[in-house]
Structure 1
């Protein structure tokens, strides 16, 4: 017997598969009458197959959606135009006890004895919806925390910075410089935490962005001191959220200056034989222990750093669907590689 040949009749084999499928299966004719339901339907909607077969599909459709379902099927039968996504649409179904069940339905059309039928593969997504609700609650709490940072902490912080400047004008005390630096660091921390909590991986509308122009714009937005920028040739274009792409570049440039020194040379070029760019410096590099933690929230080898800059970079990169890694540059410093 050839390896692909079934040991039993095809009809028996496939009938067994359908009857034991974990997903619910429901078949209706062009009049919306249910002609088949598999046993898994009972786990999802509470009805046994016998309770459904022979009845209208409206039996499992919430009343408010009945006109929509009826019109959609009628329109397709008459015109052949699909006005819904057959490969997976989220719709509520009516359980036998009256409550609504969130489901994901995929549709297929087929003919038998010259009659038209539609089979839906039905999955219960109640657990997924519940997880989404919990995640939304967490995001809401995080946004609330961010609002507190932006308002309730920044106000007294601004007052403290103002009085510190007045004190520095009247008193030449090194301690006041330390106070001012600490207040500035708090301000930077608030900025970074707001970005992480409010924006995170969110990517807005994308467009074709010229990388060379973005590099130059980002360089001009950073306090570069005596640092030098070298752009290695034409870096091409990339489909990206331009504002957030520049944020990646700004944070990586700022990271190089903070860790490699104010006279660092930053090189940005294309990665050979790959679709991506590198941002490297000629500083002292990153220790082996630091490589594994470099993108973690709050990790920094610079006492003046917030430890959030590279974490923000990582989130924006992931939000675009890209990859980022870090290694040693040819000059012994750090080299960040972003693959598009």
Structure 2
């Protein structure tokens, strides 16, 4: 009977080991066994290999500091110490460095494993890592939306107050004097509010994800944008063209704002040129003019919401441009044109 009980106990232990190994091997989360005394990895499952980009043998030759170089001290103080003292722990503030030097945000839960050391502390722990890149990205997008809403609220409450005050003041004077000049001022303030609200709505739309992407020709889309702008006697030249992959409607909107900006600040007779950028450093296109250019002290804030040097402007034109460009995953920079005017460089790809 005793022998049969031993055999039964051994069979149960073997079954437990097989179940444990199957869970370890097939878990969707990265699972690693860490030797706490030697500060090294003892075992790693296939998900850990996939997550970190190492072969299993390579991974087992590494140390935790190789995987978490930036926050290892914090992990030891807040996570590992919790596992040692309480038997389990959790943290979502962990960055894993892969074999390709990519940083992956992860959450990790851990539990102490037997046997315990001579001082009663565990000598090994099991650590389960989960890639939370999607969660972090969603959180970042939510924070951006909240920031956008806060900026909109600030603009609406601040910038619209001025024309409303003008309307109220001139309406009061008009009732007293019946002077038509007050009605003209009211009309001007209403027109400014209308422009501001229109651009605010455009700005809100500009920051959304670009979905309708297709192949476009730079010359075609810029000429379409030019036809939509009141360009007075300004001159438009396409020096070269290139293929683009983007949302045509949104790009026309961005280009139209750049053209309007050039006419506003460069004068009605300004010449605007468009062409491709294809150098060893970057690929993209430019919009430049032969106006007076943009002072260095203004360039750093030119794309900020509400930033303008034009008393009649809303300050949202260039903000709309940069929102649309960034929504495409591109970058925009301000430089000086060969004639001393402003040059906006839209960088699609950098070397």
Query: Which of 215, 219, 233 is residue 222 of structure 2 equivalent to?
Result: 215
Tell me the CA shift for residue 12 of structure 1. 8.7
Asked whether the equivalents of residues 293 and 336 of structure 2 are also in contact (C-alpha less than 8 Å), the reply is yes
> Which residue pairs with 1:288 in the alignment?
296
Q: Given the superposition, is the C-alpha separation of residues 126 and 265 from structure 1 closer, same or farther in structure 2, using an over 3 Å criterion?
A: closer
- Residues 207-236 of structure 1, C-alpha deviations (whole Å, 9 max, x = no match): 111111101110111111111111113x12
CA contact (8 A) 1:202 1:316 kept: no
Paired residue secondary structure (2:274) = strand
Q: Aligned pair 1:185/2:182, yes or no?
A: no
- Which of 243, 267, 272 is matched with 1:261 structurally? 267
Report how many aligned residue pairs link the two structures: 246
Cα distance, 1:179 vs structure 2: 2.9
Residues 335 and 342, structure 2, Cα contact 8 Å, conserved in 1: yes
- Asked whether the equivalents of residues 222 and 252 of structure 2 are also in contact (C-alpha less than 8 Å), the reply is yes
**In the alignment, structure 1 residue 244 sits paired with structure 2 residue 250:** yes
1:261/1:251 CA distance change after superposition, 3 Å: same
CA distances 1:216-272 after superposition (whole Å, capped 9, x unpaired): 110111111111111113x12111121111121111001111111222211111235
Q: Which residue pairs with 2:277 in the alignment?
A: 271
Aligned CA distance change for structure 1 residues 313 and 17 (closer, same or farther; 3 Å): farther
Q: What CA deviation, in whole Å up to 9, does each residue of 1:108-160 have, x standing for no partner?
A: xxxxxxxxxxx9743568984894596387279569969xx7xxx9xxx9xx8
Secondary structure in structure 2 of the residue aligned to 1:284: coil
Distance 1:18 1:145, change over 3 A: same
2: CA distance between counterparts of 1:262 and 1:133? Answer: 40
- Cα 1:172–1:200 change in 2 (3 A) is same
**Residue-by-residue CA offset, 1:272-304 (whole Å, 9 max, x unaligned):** 524221111121111121122211111111111
CA-CA distance at 1:195 after TM superposition = 2.6
RMSD of aligned alpha carbons: 5.0
8 A Cα contact 2:106 2:131, kept in partner = no
The answer (yes or no) to whether the contact 2:289–2:341 under 8 Å persists in 1 is yes
1:100 corresponding residue in structure 2: none
Q: For residue 230 of structure 1, what is the aligned residue in structure 2?
A: 237
Structure 1 residue runs without a partner (length 5+): 1-10, 20-24, 30-38, 53-86, 97-118
SS in 2 for 1:238: strand
In structure 2, what is the Cα distance between the partners aligned to 1:192 and 1:323? 21
SS state of the match for residue 41, structure 2?
Answer: helix
Q: 1:18 aligns with which of 41, 53, 74?
A: 41
Q: For the structure 1 residues 258 and 174, does the alpha-carbon distance in structure 2 shift closer, same or farther, using more than 3 Å as the test?
A: farther
Partner of 2:318: 310
Judge conservation of contact 2:270–2:289 (CA < 8 Å) in 1: yes
Stretch deviating more after TM superposition (316-325 or 124-133): 124-133
* 3-state DSSP of counterpart to 1:271: strand
1:101-180 aligned at under 5 Å gives the runs 121-123=129-131, 128=136, 131=139, 135=143, 138=146, 173-180=180-187
Aligned mates of 1:281, 1:28 — CA distance in 2: 57
**Is this contact kept in 1: 2:289–2:342, CA < 8 A?**
yes
Taking structure 2 as the reference length, the TM-score comes to 0.54
